[in-house]
A and B are shown apart, each in its own frame.
Chain A
Amino acid sequence: MSTEALEAPEVKEEVKQPAEALFSKRRRRIVADPLNEDNPITIQVLGICSALAITIKMEPTLVMSIAVVSVIVFSNLIISLIRNLIPGRVRIIVQLAIIATLVTLVSEVLKAYYFDMYKVLGAFVGLIITNCIVMGRLEAFAMANKPYDSILDGLGSGFGYAWIILVVAFFRELFGSGSVFDFKVFEAIGLSNFPTNGLMVDSIGAFMVLGILIWVQRSKTGYVEH
């Protein structure tokens, strides 16, 4: 998080320079950092609640990922566009109002065109509002950066969240229900009596997969909590 605060003055200097490359090194970092080294779930430990709740199967997880990515990107963009107009004293409420509006829109669209998923995800789409990742990005990045950078940051954080929950969902569905995207994997390879693990269907399974994931990731990146 502190890196953004340091970058902010840097941005102002760059304004005077000739236009920065569309995918300059700095911009690539904005997208790439949250995918691994500054991952919202495994490093910042945000958005855990929904990561446990909706990762039983791949399909709802994918829909949830798309919903979260679009909410982060658009709220980042909107806040960044009006960042100089927002009064500092009510900025949190403004951020919340914009997130809530976007989430409600997503929920309404799902209800109209993807009703089965709407029923499965139920309250969790609405709970994107309280997903700390979204508001965290607005407060830490979009309030101080230009729209294009904010979109990139939203994409980075969104996909950083998405790939983790998709991996968790993959293992949970594989071992909990014996399928991937409702395709019965074990039956397809001739192991029709493969026992499914009830623990994986429960939230505990998500904790375990997530724990292992964090372990693997941290042993690779060498990240240590201070």
Chain B
Amino acid sequence: MQRSNTYIILFSVVLTVVLGGLLSLASVGLKPAQDKQVELDTKKKILGAVMDISSIEEPNELLALYDKKVKSLVVDYNGAVVTTDTKGNTIVAEKVNIQKNYRFAPEDRLYPVFKFMNEKDSSKVEAYVFPMFGSGLWDWISGYLAVGNDLNTILGVAFDHKQETPGLGARITSDVVQKRFEGKEIYNEKNELVSVKMVKGEGNANLTSHEVDGMSGATLTGKGVNEMMVNYLTCYQGYIKKVKASRSSVAVN
């Protein structure tokens, strides 16, 4: 049956309004639950960089643990603490979008720092977790790097990626690969930043404390990880130096 043009246009308008309305309703209705999931995911990664959280199933338990253990702050390139943005709003470290900041020049970015506090003495920092962001082979990769109280020894890493090849580059998210970073050091004896490098190939012997075994078939993803770590550790240098300086001045006093 041939319908008139008016009917077709009317039908299309009504359909669009109905479907559009449905989608916006769903989007608004599900927003709180989605935000909570994203928050949970971020906190999971931060905790996961330092400790094994695979046994914690309950989301609320995880959030409680996070609140108990983690103190967060935001610093700029020079290591100065930033509390408000240009419009005067308070900045929450967990809400800082690393991916968005990645687009700015390093000097203009915001750098969240997550301090893992000692359970008994809450003034002592057990670990510092630095988020980072970079490019893998196909799309972005991101990570959380946890260093110990000495701001040198890596306690753990948690990487994420968007589009790396499953079974090859995507292995950066696997425990096996991430465990390789544990105990490695980011500074050399002369106190210069050298970061940690993932080498080419797998099963390499005699790795130094600045090298980790690579992933066979995913050298380019490894390179992306290396670049990301050097870039962001360089950016966090300002903060790291400040922390170290404040410690030595305390020691002198």
Contact = CB atoms under 8 A, between A and B. Distances in A.
A94 interface: yes
Contacts of A88: 1-3
B75 interface: no
Given A85-B11, A87-B7, A112 B19 contact: no
A101 B25 CA distance: 12
B12 interface: yes
Contacts of A115: 34, 37-38, 40-41
A56 interface: yes
* Chief secondary structure at chain A's binding surface: helix
B237 interface: no
Interface size bucket, A side?
Answer: 20 to 34
B167 A98 contact: no
A56 B15 contact: no
Contacts, number: 61
A104 B15 CA distance: 16
Interface in A58-94: 85-90, 93-94
Interface string B155-185: 0000000100011000000000000000000
B251 interface: no
A53 B33 CA distance: 28
B167 A94 contact: no
A108 interface: yes
Given A56-B166, A176-B167, A113 B8 contact: no
Contacts of B30: 108-109, 111-112
Nearest to A120: B166
Interface in B166-215: 166-167
A202 to B, nearest CB: 6
B22 interface: yes
B56 to A, nearest CB: 14
Contact of A112 (B3, B15, B22, B37): B37
A109 B23 CA distance: 11
Interface residues of B, number: 24
Nearest to A109: B30
A56 B170 CA distance: 13
B8 A97 contact: no
B78 interface: no
Given A98-B19, A104-B23, A108-B27, A87 B11 contact: yes
Contacts of A56: 166-167
A66 B30 CA distance: 20
B11 A90 contact: yes
A97 B41 CA distance: 32
Interface string B46-57: 000000000000
B84 interface: no
Interface centre among A86, A89, A93, A108 (most CB of B within 10 A): A108
A105 interface: yes
B220 to A, nearest CB: 17
Nearest to B14: A85
A97 B19 contact: yes
Contacts of A201: 166-167
A195 interface: no
B7 to A, nearest CB: 6
7 contacts: A86-B11, A90-B11, A94-B12, A97-B16, A105-B26, A115-B38, A115-B40
Interface of A: 56, 85-90, 93-94, 97-98, 101, 104-105, 108-109, 111-113, 115, 118-119, 122, 176, 198, 201-202
The 3 closest A-B pairs by CB, nearest first: A201-B167, A112-B33, A115-B37
Given A105-B22, A198-B167, 9 more contacts: A56-B167, A87-B7, A90-B8, A90-B11, A104-B23, A108-B26, A112-B30, A115-B38, A176-B167
